[in-house]
Each structure stands twice: as structure tokens, then as C-alpha cells.
Structure 1
Amino acid sequence: MTSKVLVVGDVMTDVIVVPEGPIVKGSDRRATVRSRPGGSGANQAVWLGAMGADVTFAARVGADDKPMYENYFRGLGVVPVLSGDREQPSGVLVTIVDPDGERSFLTDRGANLNLSPGDLGEGLLDDIGMVMVSGYSFFAPGPRAAVQSLFAAAKARGITIAVDPASVGFLLEVGAAQFLAWTSGANAIFANESEAEALTGVTGYAAQMQALGAHYDTVLIKRGRLGAAIGSRAGIRLDLPAPAVTVVDSTGAGDAFAAGFIAAKLAGKDEREALTKAIEAGARAVQSIGGQPG
């Protein structure tokens, strides 16, 4: 298998708000406010680039921002294949970070909503060993049609396909059965326990592993400070702990996790080492503000 990976997903500007205490409705609260590049797909691609992977990233941005984003991604070891949108600006995500590191989001996906099959031509798959698609791409008709067309082409070529559900809120909105149908044909899924519960209706990551294994050959369940597990419909094959770290911001931790696992597997590492690298990357991500390497 070639070691090149194609990531498809959103490009966002992350506006990260860290209040000094609880938000006071109708009044002021001091806060740290920072603006950084983000988006689930973009985060995965940048983390992969930081890990030395050969990564191409396909997405849609506001036309005026396209040259800036192309230079940004190239500077971080990512080959950008970006379409410029003349109607919608680039996406923006406002993240409000609680004192315990948990996050709430306000999302304007902008140009990402106009991703089309024409943006994801089959030529993108040349020399690709794995396709990674953010779940956000399934939650709107245009991007969904684009990635499903890409899925079909990738599957015909025998290319491994992985998905990340990305959002519990959107999963609950569209329903588990719908998401599972949309992602049919994917070989692997990266899900946290909340996403796994939303998709399976069961609690406990061991039961979730088996339930998701009915739909995907390989299941990875991210458990935050408790680590992560990998398995299939036969159950858990490997369950590893996470290092104890101080959580500053959990934005992008799942993206870093996925990148760590994929980069290690494409470099020929075994499953234990790949899961270890994934957990290490997730732990690194939560120790700084933003969804990309600091």
C-alpha cells in the first residue's frame, strides 16, 4: 500500500474563547479570545504533515482566502487541493472553552457547504493509500454527494477509507441509521464514546465496539483521559491507557489522534505502536490552545 493519504473535510477559522469564569448572561466576562486556522479535516491534515506523512488535503474555501490557505498548508507539509467559492466565505467556528477544557461550538460552515463532486475529481486518488473523511462532510447534501462519489471511486480501486463522525450534535440530528448508511463502505471509524453511543444506542465501549464492528472492519474508540481501544465486531483487540496531562483545550484532540494512528500505520508500524502514537498525539493536542500543532 502506498503511504500517501488524502484527507477531505472542512477548513475553518477557529475563534477560541476562554472565559475567566462562567458566562454572565446580559453582562461582561473577561476572556482570552484568539483566532487560529482550524476545521476537522484541516486539523487532521496539518497533524499528519507535522508527523511527516505524505498528505493531500481537499476542501473548499472562500475564493478570496484561497491563496492564503494554499500557502499556509504548503508551509506545514500539506499538499492543498482547494476550490475557491465566489458565493460563500470561508467557514468560521466559535469555540467556548470551559474551565475543565470541555468545549461548546457555534458553527458557520460557509464555503464548506458547497463542496461538490467536481471538487473531488477521481484523479485525487492517484497513488493514494488511504482516504480520511471528516463526518462534517456528510451533514449537508452537496458535500455528502461529493464524498460518497469519492468513496465509490476509492472502493473500486481498493483504497482504504476511514471516517470520523465529528459531531454528536449532528449525529443526533440526522439519526444513527442515516449516518451509518451514508458511510457504508468505509473500512474504519474513529469515534469517541459519546459518538459511539449516539451511533449504537448502547453504553460501554466494549459493547459499542462490537456494534460498530457490524458496519466497519476496524473500530477505534477514543476515551479521552482513559486512553483508547481498537477492535472489531469480535470485540476489543487492544485497549491502552493515556498519559496524565493537564488539559488546556480539547479542540482537535480527536483529529490529532486520528493523524497519529494513520501516520504510524502508513509508516508500517503495527497496531499497538499505531494506537500508542495516536494516544500520544491526542495527549499533546489537549495541552495547548487550538486544534493544530502549536
Structure 2
Amino acid sequence: MNRVISTGSIIVDLTVSVSAVPLPGGDVLASPLQALVGGGFNLAAAASRHGAHVVYAGVIGSGPYGQLASAALASEGITRVPGAAASGDTGVCITLVDDQAERTFITSPGAESRLAPEHLDAVRPQSDDVVCVSGYDAVYEGSRDALTEWVESLPLGTTVVFDPGPLVDEIPESIWNALLARTDVLTLNDAEAEQLTPGVVPTDQHFALRELLRLRPETATVIRRGSTGCTWRSNGAHGHVSAPRVVAVDTTGAGDTHTGTMAAALAEGFDLPTALRRANVAAADSVTRRGPATAPTRAQLDALLVRAAAS
């Protein structure tokens, strides 16, 4: 199987469950604090569990949180780029999960936000690899220039999947333009699509995104629409891919699970609609468990797909 190479920065989620996010100046009692490896790890773990050979091309810190991240990568069989370590610890994300399974984030970046050219020089992407890029790294001043130059240098045939994430409004225009010129699949959730195209009805968002971002005709756009699945458009073709109904308890990492599973399926040779079907089922299953990296294994996903087809 071809590789999935992820540059998405890995952090540690400091997670609590709350009845509701407090108002400014307020307080709320929470569940015991959990320290769980998340961020870019969610995507990498999902791709690895799908069966892809995953390479993590980001930076890991040298402190206690970095040690947690390193152990998590090893437990999933994910290859690390030699020498991709930095002084200082890995950053954290304070995560509040409310009674509706919605999550609210506060991110404090660390060593992972300093992705230098030498960290990427050890990566040797091939023309049939799938490279996943995160919008967080397109925002971090210590990463975005090195990342952009590296993406621009990728060989023809390498599939680039770009997920801008919730910081879409903070990505500099020059970085947007450079990354999108090389992007094959742009994937974002409906809230992020609304941020970029305020007031545009969902049925027109793909057109608005393509015009706003001046995307190439062959660049596919994917909008994740929560429990209803996702929509996509590329080269005039388009569609809606539904998702199975589940009872959600924690949506943390669901978007990363979707992107990681889609990337692994594309690397395996599935077409985009089939890859999205697999991604929808994996993401739906992931929200039925608490934690950031809860993607199913390949065997579990295949069984879920059979069950979904029979229902």
C-alpha cells in the first residue's frame, strides 16, 4: 500500500467533560482531567488503523507531553522521521466536551509549532503517496514557510489533502494560495465552510469555495456535514455521501478520523466517493467513544460497512 505522510502537528489534549461551556467570567464543575494525545495524532492513527503505512513528518517535543506523543505513535506503528525532535515540550489543547458531545478548544502551541526545513528534508515523498497538511501548521509562524516550500516541491502525482481546520480565518493569503495551488483534496467541516462563505446556502458552498479560493478544476472539495455525512465536488462531478445514525458522546477528533480514513482509502486506490463512504462510517463510529483518537480498526470498519449496507 502507498504511504500516508502527515505533517499535522501532534499535541496533548487536556480533556474534561462539562454540562455546558461556562459563560465569560463563569465557572462549571467538570469530570476528572484526562491527558490524551490528539491533534494530528487523530488523523495519523485513523490512517494507520485503516491499514496504511503512515509516516509522521512533524515535530515532537522533548518533555513529558512529547514522551506521551512518542509512545502513542509507537503504539500505532506509525513511522517517525529521524531527527524530528525539538527542544521544549509538545503543546497542549484544553478541550471541553459538553452534554451534546460538542467540543470547545483552547490550544497552547509548543515544539510542534516549529517545523523547520531540516525536519522535512528527511522525508522523501513518492509520486504515489498521499500527503496530509493541517491548517494549524499553515498558521504557526514557526512552521508555515517551511511547510509551504516543502509542499510546493512535492513530485507530480503525490496527492495532497489539505484540512484548514478551525483557524481558516487566520491563514495568511500567500500561504493559502501556495498550498491550494498544490492541493488535490480540500476538506473542511460545515462551520469552516460557513466561515469562508458567510451567508451562502449549503447547496452553493462548493461553488463559492471554488470561486473564492480560485481552486483548480481538478481539486476536489469535501464539506463534512456532521451526522448527515458529507458533500463533495470535483471536475463537475459531485455528490452527497450519507453517514450512519449513531448516538454521539464525544465528537473530539471526528474530523481528523474522517480525513485520515479518507487519505488511507485514497492511498489504497479507492475512488473519492468510496473513500468518503469509508470515512463517514469511521467518523460516525469514532464519536460513540470518548477521547480524541477513537477511529475503528480496518476489520471493525469493514464490519460496520457491511452492517450499514444491510440496514
Does TM-score exceed 0.5, indicating one fold?
yes
Aligned CA distance change for structure 1 residues 97 and 209 (closer, same or farther; 3 Å): same
Matches within 5 A, 1:105-254: 105-121=105-121, 123-126=123-126, 129-154=129-154, 156-167=155-166, 170-174=167-171, 177=173, 180-184=176-180, 185-213=182-210, 214-216=214-216, 217-232=219-234, 234=236, 237-254=238-255
Measured on the aligned residues, the alpha-carbon RMSD in Å equals 2.3
Q: Following TM superposition, by how much is the alpha carbon of 1:204 offset from its aligned partner in structure 2, in angstroms?
A: 2.6
Q: Following TM superposition, by how much is the alpha carbon of 1:101 offset from its aligned partner in structure 2, in angstroms?
A: 1.3
Equivalence for 2:293: 292
Unmatched runs of 5 consecutive residues or more in structure 2: 296-311
Q: Following TM superposition, by how much is the alpha carbon of 1:130 offset from its aligned partner in structure 2, in angstroms?
A: 1.3
Verify the 8 A CA contact 2:262 2:276 in the aligned structure 1.
yes
Query: Between Structure 1 and Structure 2, which shows a larger proportion of strand residues?
Result: 1
Q: Following TM superposition, by how much is the alpha carbon of 1:85 offset from its aligned partner in structure 2, in angstroms?
A: 1.7
Deviations 1:67-103, CA, capped at 9 Å, x for gaps? 65434312212112262222x3111001011211111
Provide the rounded CA distance (Å) in 1 between the counterparts of 2:127 and 2:48: 17
Aligned CA distance change for structure 1 residues 31 and 275 (closer, same or farther; 3 Å): same
Q: Following TM superposition, by how much is the alpha carbon of 1:122 offset from its aligned partner in structure 2, in angstroms?
A: 5.9
What letter matches 1:231 in structure 2? R
Q: Which runs of 4+ in 1 moved over 4 A?
A: 24-28, 65-68
Deviations 1:48-82, CA, capped at 9 Å, x for gaps? 11111111011112224556543431221211226
What letter matches 1:196 in structure 2? A
Equivalent position SS for 2:263: helix
Provide the rounded CA distance (Å) in 1 between the counterparts of 2:7 and 2:224: 21
Provide the rounded CA distance (Å) in 2 between the counterparts of 1:172 and 1:232: 24
Q: Following TM superposition, by how much is the alpha carbon of 1:243 offset from its aligned partner in structure 2, in angstroms?
A: 1.4
Provide the rounded CA distance (Å) in 2 between the counterparts of 1:193 and 1:282: 15
Which structure is richer in relative contact order (CA contacts within 8 A, separation 6 or more)? 2
Verify the 8 A CA contact 1:122 1:150 in the aligned structure 2.
no
Equivalence for 1:44: 43
What letter matches 2:241 in structure 1? L
Deviations 1:174-194, CA, capped at 9 Å, x for gaps? 47x456324232111111111
Q: Following TM superposition, by how much is the alpha carbon of 1:222 offset from its aligned partner in structure 2, in angstroms?
A: 0.1
| 1:59 partnered with 2:61 | no
Deviations 1:218-273, CA, capped at 9 Å, x for gaps? 11110001110111363x61202221111111111011111121222222223332
What letter matches 1:291 in structure 2? P
Q: Following TM superposition, by how much is the alpha carbon of 1:128 offset from its aligned partner in structure 2, in angstroms?
A: 5.3
What letter matches 2:250 in structure 1? D
Provide the rounded CA distance (Å) in 2 between the counterparts of 1:266 and 1:196: 25
Aligned CA distance change for structure 1 residues 19 and 69 (closer, same or farther; 3 Å): closer
Aligned CA distance change for structure 1 residues 22 and 149 (closer, same or farther; 3 Å): closer
Equivalence for 1:6: 5
What letter matches 2:226 in structure 1? G
What letter matches 1:222 in structure 2? R
Unmatched runs of 5 consecutive residues or more in structure 1: none
What letter matches 1:212 in structure 2? L
Aligned CA distance change for structure 1 residues 108 and 204 (closer, same or farther; 3 Å): same
Verify the 8 A CA contact 1:23 1:29 in the aligned structure 2.
no
Aligned identity (percent) is 28
| 1:90 partnered with 2:59 | no
Equivalence for 2:79: 79
Q: TM-score, normalised by structure 2?
A: 0.83
Q: TM-score, normalised by structure 1?
A: 0.88
Which range is displaced more, 66-75 or 135-144? 66-75
Verify the 8 A CA contact 1:191 1:222 in the aligned structure 2.
yes
Which range is displaced more, 271-280 or 57-66? 57-66
Which range is displaced more, 108-117 or 199-208? 199-208
Verify the 8 A CA contact 1:56 1:80 in the aligned structure 2.
yes
Which range is displaced more, 224-233 or 4-13? 224-233
Verify the 8 A CA contact 1:116 1:143 in the aligned structure 2.
yes
Verify the 8 A CA contact 1:6 1:55 in the aligned structure 2.
yes
